[in-house]
Amino acid sequence: MKMFDMLTSEDLKRIKKDPELRIKELENSLSIALEINDKFQRENATLLKNRPLNTMDEVAYRELEAENKNLKKRAQESEGETSIIKAVGANSPEMKESQARIKELENKCREAGRAIIELNFKYEELKTKMKGNNEKHPPVNS
């Protein structure tokens, strides 16, 4: 069911006539609903706190509490191990050697790239010279 299906023709006229008034009405309704919800949640929380636990509730609660404590401990240990692995890995001799090798190879690639560019320029120059020589002295066909 759509919202407009619930509205009467008088409601629609009122909305068209003064939309600001309708907005204020809706805001008021929302604030009332939020107050009721807050009151309900506070009362419900109070009831739950004051309710005595039966044996099954208490057993389940203790089990969950122990499991939660265990999971927190495992998470902390895992975070610690991860940070140690990262610290050792970044500063290990193997990592330093690898980083040095990477830099060396990057430099070689740059040098090779420069050499290729120079060779391309020389090739173009030679090609231009050869073209010029061919125009001056056309090849002799036998």
* 14 close to 22: Cβ distance less than 8 angstroms: yes
Rg, Å, the chain Cα set = 41
Domain count, the chain: 1
Is there a domain that residue 111 lies in? no
Per-residue pLDDT of the chain (142 residues; tens, 9 = 90+): 455 556 677 766 766 777 777 777 778 888 888 888 888 888 877 776 766 667 777 788 888 889 999 899 888 888 887 777 777 667 778 788 888 999 999 999 999 999 999 999 999 999 888 888 777 666 666 5
Per-state percent for the chain, helix, strand, coil, to nearest 5: 90, 0, 10
Model pTM score: 0.35
Is there a domain that residue 123 lies in? no
Is there a domain that residue 96 lies in? no
Residue 139: CA atoms inside 13 Å, Cβ hemisphere, count? 4
- Euclidean distance between CA atoms 138 and 140, whole angstroms: 6
Amino acid, res. 108: K
Is there a domain that residue 19 lies in? yes
